[in-house]
């Protein structure tokens, strides 16, 4: 009888509503068992694993447990294998054997239990950090066509927060920042837990894991040696290790970049040139340096955009010729692509390759002279800036040698924003005419003008209207209402390219019409793109060329650059000279200095 009761008693830890103490009493002695029953019932039952769920549903629990193991392994493999570029991610990318996974398995197998768990947790956090970094790389490549810079790009996250505030308000900014922080923490925690779970599994099945690791290691060596591929993708990969190696190299170069840049800043061929010998070939002229946002070579070369833009350029040439102007054009290679206009502007004006934010900050806090500040030093020009994209304090503006700066709040515009663009280009140029260029009995002007209508996201876009109807800009409310919705446009890369092309056409029309309407024999215009647009438009091209053009009424102005080999007109030929953007300043100042013939 006692044996029968023992057979019927539940396993230790099982759900139990009866008192186990009853088993220890003789079968004939029922009273003590009855007396002890209440005491046993008062003890909470033990419920192992997920509040007893695993005991009640063992098959489902096993499936879940195996599923979690599989997900943990999949997470680790995805982090090791996923490229840091969206355009490189394919199904074949994940049918590879990473040597780093084999190395991690071997390392964890060699460690004792406690050290294995601690190491696995640390490695999991590290994998989580690299997963976050790869996501940042993807985002930066989609906008800047380059990976995230671990040394210099942290400041750009503040700019991203400002953009969120401008787009969605302070509440939207705070919620977005909180969401990003929470997501980052979740990634780190989940990746750490995944590695710990896999480490525990390997510890419980040590011999099987060791044999599997050995077999896969041999397979990796064979595949790597023979160059085995699957669908054009190398099976045996060490891509994650190479990614980390490249990252370390980038960081080392970044940390040493400050000293390199300071040495470059110290070299200036015109630093000791007397002011009366600077830019003598342009004395008495009004000189306009005009940047057209995102005006890149792709707008001219791309078959889907080139024909329409070519028509715009031909019409622009005709307008200029009708007003007595001639033009020469070439190519400049920008230090940035997709975004970072201020880096391109400072490269063009300073004669230095300003490729990151740290260089920009170092430059704008130095005494290095720029093309615009050299105009100011001569005392022969009033220097002004038309910067409609600036919507708050811009302390760097003084560095560029501008006597007066007109930002978006000082142009007299009372119309709507066009997406990111605070002021349409046509209105910005008309404001320049009213505020500076159109004044009588004035000194010659050197103006830096930044046309912002072709700024991403290119929707909605303003269009040309009669210059007499511009007024205070309220006419643009109707124009904006008739425009396209950026949310709809960005669902299609084809529509994005179309709207981009239209935005560039609008900027070019605004500029050439202004020259035809207001330019005179003393007007000299230098206009250029600051960088190529985002990869959605360029198709991922690595080309960073932008067009640059000099327009003048006085033939002597263009005669000074005749030896540059530039193309006649405002469209550079395919084989026109291509310079890096930082070379322009010194060549321009040399051409228009006293030593030029």
Per-residue pLDDT reduced to its tens digit, 69-106: 999 999 999 999 999 988 888 888 898 999 999 999 99
How much is the average pLDDT of 154-172? 75
> Does the N-terminal peptide bond of residue 439 adopt cis geometry, omega within 30 degrees of 0?
no
**94 and 77 in contact (C-beta within 8 Å)?**
yes
Distance CA 499, CA 492 (A): 11
Of 36-45, 386-395, 510-519, the least confident: 36-45
Share of residues in the chain with pLDDT > 90 (%): 72
At 158 the pLDDT is: 77
How much is the average pLDDT of 331-342? 94
Compute how many other C-beta atoms are within 10 angstroms of the C-beta atom of residue 396: 15
Share of residues in the chain with pLDDT > 70 (%): 90
**331 and 545 in contact (C-beta within 8 Å)?**
yes
How much is the average pLDDT of 478-483? 92
**110 and 169 in contact (C-beta within 8 Å)?**
no
Tokens 């370390």 — which residue? 248
Distance CA 254, CA 382 (A): 38
Position 165 confidence tier, pLDDT thresholds 50, 70, 90: confident
pLDDT over threshold 70, residue 11: no
At 334 the pLDDT is: 97
Tens of pLDDT, residue by residue over 455-480, are: 999 999 999 999 999 999 999 999 99
**406 and 429 in contact (C-beta within 8 Å)?**
no
Distance CA 292, CA 429 (A): 12
At 18 the pLDDT is: 37
**198 and 192 in contact (C-beta within 8 Å)?**
no
pLDDT over threshold 70, residue 47: no
At 395 the pLDDT is: 77
DSSP single-letter state for residue 205: T
Residue 340 gets the label, from left (phi > 0), alpha (psi -120 to 50) or beta, of left
Q: Which two tokens stand for residue 514?
A: 């202004």
Mean pLDDT of the chain: 88
Tens of pLDDT, residue by residue over 339-368, are: 889 999 999 999 999 999 899 999 999 999
pLDDT over threshold 50, residue 30: no
pLDDT over threshold 50, residue 407: yes
At 7 the pLDDT is: 39
Of 18-22, 128-132, 355-359, 360-364, the least confident: 18-22
pLDDT over threshold 80, residue 579: yes
At 511 the pLDDT is: 98
Tokens 């349409």 — which residue? 424
In this structure, is the dihedral angle defined by the CA atoms of residues 124, 129, 133 and 139, taken in order, positive or negative?
Answer: positive
At 429 the pLDDT is: 98
Residue with the larger pLDDT of the pair 521 and 594: 521
Distance CA 360, CA 342 (A): 8
Residue with the larger pLDDT of the pair 448 and 165: 448
Torsion angle of C-alpha atoms 409, 372, 506, 307, degrees rounded to 10:
-160
At 392 the pLDDT is: 73
Distance CA 255, CA 342 (A): 22
Report which of 476, 450, 295 is spatially closest to residue 385, judged by C-alpha positions.
450
How much is the average pLDDT of 139-159? 83
Distance CA 448, CA 451 (A): 10
- CA distances to 155, 239, 281, 564 from 593, rounded to whole Å, are 39, 53, 6, 15
């Amino acid at each position: 009888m006692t044996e029968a009761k023992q057979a019927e008693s539940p396993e230790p830890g099982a759900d139990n509503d009866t008192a186990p103490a009853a088993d220890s009493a003789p079968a004939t002695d029922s009273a003590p068992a009855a007396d002890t029953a209440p005491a046993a019932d008062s003890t909470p039952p033990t419920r192992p694993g997920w509040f007893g769920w695993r005991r009640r549903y063992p098959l489902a629990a096993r499936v879940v447990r195996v599923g979690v193991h599989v997900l943990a392994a999949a997470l680790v493999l995805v982090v090791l294998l996923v490229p840091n570029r969206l355009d490189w991610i394919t199904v074949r990318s994940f049918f590879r054997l990473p040597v780093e996974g084999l190395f991690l398995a071997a390392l964890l197998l060699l460690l004792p239990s406690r050290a294995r768990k601690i190491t696995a947790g640390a490695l999991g956090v590290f994998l989580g950090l690299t997963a976050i970094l790869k996501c940042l790389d993807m985002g930066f490549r989609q906008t800047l066509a380059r990976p995230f810079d671990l040394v210099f790009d942290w400041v750009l996250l503040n700019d991203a927060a400002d953009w969120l505030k401008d787009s969605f308000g302070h509440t939207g900014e705070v919620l977005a920042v909180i969401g990003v922080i929470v997501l980052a923490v979740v990634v780190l925690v989940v990746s750490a837990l995944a590695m710990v779970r896999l480490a525990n599994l390997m510890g419980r099945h040590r011999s099987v894991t060791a044999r599997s690791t050995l077999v896969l290691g041999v397979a990796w060596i064979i595949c790597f040696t023979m160059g085995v591929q699957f669908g054009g993708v190398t099976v045996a990969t060490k891509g994650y290790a190479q990614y980390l190696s490249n990252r370390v190299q980038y960081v080392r170069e970044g940390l040493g970049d400050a000293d390199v840049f300071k040495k470059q800043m110290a070299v200036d061929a015109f630093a000791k040139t007397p002011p009366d010998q600077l830019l003598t070939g342009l004395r008495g002229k009004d000189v306009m340096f005009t940047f057209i946002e995102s005006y890149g070579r792709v707008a001219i070369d791309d078959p889907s955009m080139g024909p329409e833009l070519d028509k715009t350029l031909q019409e622009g040439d005709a307008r200029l010729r009708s007003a007595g102007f001639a033009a020469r054009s070439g190519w400049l290679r920008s230090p940035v692509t997709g975004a970072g206009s201020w880096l391109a502007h400072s490269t063009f004006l300073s004669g230095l390759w300003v490729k990151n934010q740290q260089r920009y900050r170092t430059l704008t806090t130095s005494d290095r002279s720029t093309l615009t500040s050299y105009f100011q030093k001569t005392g022969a020009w009033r220097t002004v800036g038309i910067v409609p994209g600036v919507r708050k304090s811009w302390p760097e503006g003084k560095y560029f040698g501008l006597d007066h700066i007109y930002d978006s709040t000082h142009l007299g515009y009372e119309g709507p924003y066009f997406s990111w663009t605070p002021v349409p280009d046509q209105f910005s140029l008309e404001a320049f005419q009213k505020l500076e260029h159109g004044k009588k009995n004035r000194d010659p002007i050197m103006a830096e003008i930044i046309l912002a209508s072709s700024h991403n996201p290119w929707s909605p876009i303003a269009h040309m209207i009669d210059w007499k109807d511009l007024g205070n800009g309220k006419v643009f409310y109707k124009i904006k209402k008739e425009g396209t919705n950026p949310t709809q446009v960005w669902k299609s890369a084809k529509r994005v390219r179309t709207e981009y092309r239209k935005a560039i056409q609008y900027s070019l029309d605004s500029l050439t019409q202004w020259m035809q309407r207001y330019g005179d024999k003393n007007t000299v215009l230098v206009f250029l793109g600051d960088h190529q647009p985002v990869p959605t438009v360029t198709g991922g091209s690595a080309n960073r060329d932008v067009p640059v053009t000099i327009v003048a009424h006085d033939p002597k102005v263009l005669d000074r650059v005749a030896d540059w080999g530039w193309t006649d007109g405002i469209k550079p030929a395919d084989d026109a000279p291509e310079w890096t953007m930082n070379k322009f300043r010194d060549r321009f100042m040399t051409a228009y200095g006293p030593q030029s013939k």
